[in-house]
Amino acid sequence: MPRISEEHRERRRQQILDAAQICFSRKGFHETSLQEIFAESGLSAGAVYRYFKSKDELVRAIAERSQPVVVAVLEDFLTRDVMPPLDEIVERFADAVVERMGVGGPVTVAPQGWALATYHQAVRDCVASLYLNTRSCWVRVAERLKDDGRLPAGSDPFAVGVLLTAALPGFILQRLLFGDVAPATLSSAIRSLVGAEAAIAHA
Amino acid sequence: MPRISEEHRERRRQQILDAAQICFSRKGFHETSLQEIFAESGLSAGAVYRYFKSKDELVRAIAERSQPVVVAVLEDFLTRDVMPPLDEIVERFADAVVERMGVGGPVTVAPQGWALATYHQAVRDCVASLYLNTRSCWVRVAERLKDDGRLPAGSDPFAVGVLLTAALPGFILQRLLFGDVAPATLSSAIRSLVGAEAAIAHA
Amino acid sequence: MPRISEEHRERRRQQILDAAQICFSRKGFHETSLQEIFAESGLSAGAVYRYFKSKDELVRAIAERSQPVVVAVLEDFLTRDVMPPLDEIVERFADAVVERMGVGGPVTVAPQGWALATYHQAVRDCVASLYLNTRSCWVRVAERLKDDGRLPAGSDPFAVGVLLTAALPGFILQRLLFGDVAPATLSSAIRSLVGAEAAIAHA
Amino acid sequence: MPRISEEHRERRRQQILDAAQICFSRKGFHETSLQEIFAESGLSAGAVYRYFKSKDELVRAIAERSQPVVVAVLEDFLTRDVMPPLDEIVERFADAVVERMGVGGPVTVAPQGWALATYHQAVRDCVASLYLNTRSCWVRVAERLKDDGRLPAGSDPFAVGVLLTAALPGFILQRLLFGDVAPATLSSAIRSLVGAEAAIAHA
DNA sequence: TATGAATGAGGCTTCATTCAT
DNA sequence: CATGAATGAAGCCTCATTCAT
């Protein structure tokens, strides 16, 4: 008995989250009223309140799941004996992000999550830890590449991790606003920079 | 023969925008009530409404001015006969961004602007054009470097522009959430990547 | 499967309209705040808004129902084989009006409805059609009387209809402002005019 | 010196009243803001407040002057040795009313004045006395006609006065709402009724 | 005396949340 | 358990009025 109803609960929860996501991506967290979510989900107020005890909780749940959790891709690469080239890693990483964007996919509302994170403590904690996590994966990737002699001896893995992490929000934003960037664009950029020794100052 | 001078008007406008910015960065566009802005600005409702005809207009004004308009830095570099090294350009660019962040500086609310841009047409138009502008500057920078033989012959200036533009939001976000990144971090990352030919796949 | 019955809905609607009418007749459409109507009706803001989506809609509903819909009386007379004398028709008609005035009856706010009709398109449409309807009944009454030889051969049924329709607002107004006129006053006036051939110009 | 400024004052007053009338006839007393009147009159807030100490005072002034003060016509007839026929009196009376309606003439807002009179004591006093005055003139007209044997011996001058007074608001309303009635329509109605002995019950 | 910027009370309306059915 | 009618606090905004210049 518990099994069935547990599944049922989970299905309901998803139904609500999906409806909320659609609404939020259309009008934003705050311009969306719960009434609209009730309508979109086909559930009553009471039903929704059985699963989320306030609008804030629902917003938080969406804000959290909107963040592209793609560390798995990086972690996977890190477990291998031989790391693939950086441009390939970047492309795979971006592929995973794009996969979660789709039309109305969770990542569509990621920018709203970032915004909320700048002033809402609980969301900040969650978003910060996700990005910190992603960043530390990138840093480890850079360390591995450096150890393998594939990044210059004097290179700064932390800085590389920061840059690659930094590119994520901007990549999402350019995709949402312009739609003219793809994973291949990022990997192409990596290839263009690498081997461009002449472009930098020699300390 | 205006009763009050143009400067007076402009000062009032700024007074309101400054108050709004403080409030918005503390609690977000939507959780901030106009009452709070009236209180923070020391003005009455009517006074504020003389300058902005709705909350939305105020929000839009802040969302727009929150976007770091730092193309000037890039344009300046582009007019020179000899371009500085890329890492230096990146660092100067980031310097300009950081300068506008400060504590409660306009850029503090930039993420809220991005979020709004994803579903608010007018804000989208404005934000999109700003980033497009920034991106096209970066693309021109990459073209110049390529022309000068400082980026590999086969490099892709557009992709480089996308990547450097992409790094901006993530740089801002990491600064707001973690505070542990600085302009020097980005330039260091550039130096680490460049000259790392071994890191990429050879087509 | 409505949660509440249709009768319940209708009762609530009337409850609100009745409260609004009382308030409006005391202080006018515009000087009455919705708070006063909430208080008078014993309902909350939200409850009232479930039935009327704006104050304007409520005002319109009252403006419309304030107009004395008394054509039924005339239509009844028109279906008979033999029309009663004009003075009797007038008196019955006025009786029906008076019946709807009472103290705080709907017709009490009729003048506010006329006023609104002069500049509010939707109200104008409604009020105009009601009076046009009333007038066309009066015109038909006059035609019947003329056909029966009870109005002079050269008489003008349209003009008679206009006059009798015209008398309605002024009758209501005199009753509201002075209270010294009654249906019998009107029928007496009709009897006084009729048979007064000497009073007119002979073309 | 006082003469000039007295004239000036009066001109200013009229300028304000004219502007107010235009605004009020377009949007009603309460939907019109003073700002609109300032704009329409070309005067500043302070200037208007020098002539009317509140909006209510301005509204009252317009409500009062909107009432067709046409007793003069009746009084003139009453001073003559020989009264003209009733249909002619009615037509002259209606002519005077129509003259004051025009497009945007004072009478255009008369219905708003009636409405206000139903719940605003000061306006009621003023409007009531005007109509009472008009009515008593009509009653005297009826008495004169009766004395001259031009109304039946048993006729009721008060009732006739009530009816003719009653026709005034309805005439104005039909003109404002339909525009298809004219002074001649009323006189035609009078001619149609008079001499229609057969139309009434014989007591 | 004239101006019009500024005030701020109060109006209309929304919407997260509750709870009787 | 589910429903959705009802609540009422709180938000945005208007506008009659004042008063420093």
Q: What value does the mean pLDDT take over residues C7-23?
A: 94
Which segment of C77-91, C134-148, D21-35, D187-201 scores lowest on mean pLDDT? D187-201
In this predicted structure, what is the pLDDT of residue C6? 82
Q: Mean pLDDT for each 10-residue chunk of chain B (203 residues)?
A: 74 96 97 98 97 97 90 93 94 95 91 97 96 97 93 94 98 96 97 77 59
Residue nearest to nucleotide E11 (CA to C1'): C33
- CA C103 – CA C25 distance, rounded (Å): 10
Nearest to C164 by CA among C147, C184, C187, C195: C187
- Give the position of tokens 């006329």: C114
In this predicted structure, what is the pLDDT of residue D70? 84
- CA D39 – CA D35 distance, rounded (Å): 6
User: pLDDT tens digits, residue range C127-170?
Assistant: 999 999 999 999 999 999 999 989 988 999 999 999 999 999 99
Which residue in A67, A176, A191 has the most chain B C-beta atoms within 10 A of its own C-beta, making it the best mutation to test that interface?
Answer: A191
Tokens encoding C55? 């104050």
Residue D189 is nearest to which of C118, C156, C197, comparing CB atoms? Answer: C156
Please name the chains neighbouring C, where neighbouring means 3+ C-beta pairs under 8 angstroms: D
| Partners of B194 in the β-ladder | A194
In this predicted structure, what is the pLDDT of residue C115? 98
- CA B7 – CA B12 distance, rounded (Å): 8
| Of C157 and A195, the one with more pLDDT | C157
| Of A128 and D68, the one with more pLDDT | A128
In this predicted structure, what is the pLDDT of residue A199? 64
| Covered bases, chain E (protein CB within 7 Å) | 2-20
| Interchain pair B131, A191: CB under 8 A | no
User: pLDDT tens digits, residue range B169-187?
Assistant: 999 999 999 999 999 999 9
- pLDDT band of residue A1 (cuts 50, 70, 90) is very low
- CA B156 – CA C34 distance, rounded (Å): 65
CA of A95 to C1' of F10 (A): 45
Q: What value does the mean pLDDT take over residues A138-159?
A: 94
Structural domains in chain C, sorted by start: 6-58 (1.10.10.60), 67-194 (1.10.357)
- pLDDT band of residue C8 (cuts 50, 70, 90) is confident
* B63 interaction partners in chain A (CB closer than 8 Å): none
In this predicted structure, what is the pLDDT of residue B82? 92
CA of D49 to C1' of F20 (A): 17
Tokens encoding C129? 């059609």
- CA D97 – CA D187 distance, rounded (Å): 14
The answer to whether residue C195 scores a pLDDT higher than 90 is no
| Interchain pair C199, D86: CB under 8 A | yes
In the predicted model, what is the mean pLDDT of chain B? Answer: 93
Which segment of A149-163, D154-168, D187-201 scores lowest on mean pLDDT? D187-201
The answer to whether the beta carbons of residues D32 and D38 sit under 8 Å apart is no
User: pLDDT tens digits, residue range B107-129?
Assistant: 999 999 999 999 999 999 999 99
In the predicted model, what is the mean pLDDT of chain A? Answer: 92
> What is the least distance, in Å, from the CA of D147 to any CA of chain C?
11
- CA A113 – CA A117 distance, rounded (Å): 6
User: Which B residues in the span 94-123 are in contact with A, Cβ-Cβ below 8 Å?
Assistant: 108-109, 111-112, 114-120
Task: Tell whether A133 lies on the interface with B, counting CB pairs under 8 A.
Answer: no
In the predicted model, what is the mean pLDDT of chain D? Answer: 92
User: pLDDT tens digits, residue range B138-155?
Assistant: 999 999 999 998 998 899
- CA B18 – CA B105 distance, rounded (Å): 9
| Interchain pair A193, B160: CB under 8 A | yes
Query: Which chain B residue has the Cα nearest residue A132?
Result: B178
- Say how many residues make up chain B: 203
Q: Find the angle CA(A182)-CA(A185)-CA(A188) to the nearest 5 degrees.
A: 150
In this predicted structure, what is the pLDDT of residue C73? 93
Distances (CA, A) of A135 to A74, A139, B114: 10, 6, 21
The answer to whether residue A2 scores a pLDDT higher than 70 is no
Please name the chains neighbouring D, where neighbouring means 3+ C-beta pairs under 8 angstroms: C
| Partners of A194 in the β-ladder | B194
In this predicted structure, what is the pLDDT of residue B102? 85
Q: What value does the mean pLDDT take over residues C8-25?
A: 95
Task: Tell whether D151 lies on the interface with C, counting CB pairs under 8 A.
Answer: yes
Residue nearest to nucleotide F20 (CA to C1'): B3
